[in-house]
Amino acid sequence: MNFLKKQAKQIDVESIKKQLSNSPDLVNRTVTVGNKTIELYFLKILVNRISIEKNIISFLNNSTSEEINLNYLFEHLPITEVKELVETNDISKYILDGFTFIYLPFEKKGLFAGVGDPVERSLGKAETESLVYGPKISFTESLSTNM
């Protein structure tokens, strides 16, 4: 399956960092497999780091350098949600949605692995809306929880 033909030719990692305002939560992990280097980018507060360690880094370390290419990772990575990179503008958007960006500098291509673990608060007592009539429950960041 060669779906990766329509990807951008060059990925500027510095522009990704700039789009994310050089966030201190942006993590860049480098994994070396044989003579190939793979870079992982994610926001540590939005992902499940255990999943990254077990399902991505461990998988890469157990692969041979001949196997490591984007098509192989797309088909064999033990993550249920793997998406292709279409536009370089999508990188920061997906990272903010809790995806890990897996960048292969030797191919100048990448893909996204869904390892998000968003923080959700439960409904609680409204502390600032004391004069509101009706249920005295505060809203959270999650629309589905609020509904």
- Per-residue pLDDT reduced to its tens digit, 44-76: 888 888 888 999 999 999 988 888 888 898 998
Predicted structure pTM score? 0.74
Distance CA 8, CA 12 (A): 10
Backbone angles phi, psi at 60, to 5 degrees: -65, -40
Cα–Cα distance list, 22 to 68, 69, 71, 113, 130 (Å) = 29, 28, 30, 21, 38
- Residue bearing tokens 């399902």: 55
What residues of the chain score a pLDDT lower than 50? Answer: 1-4, 8, 147
Contacts of 32 (CB under 8 A, 6+ apart): 38
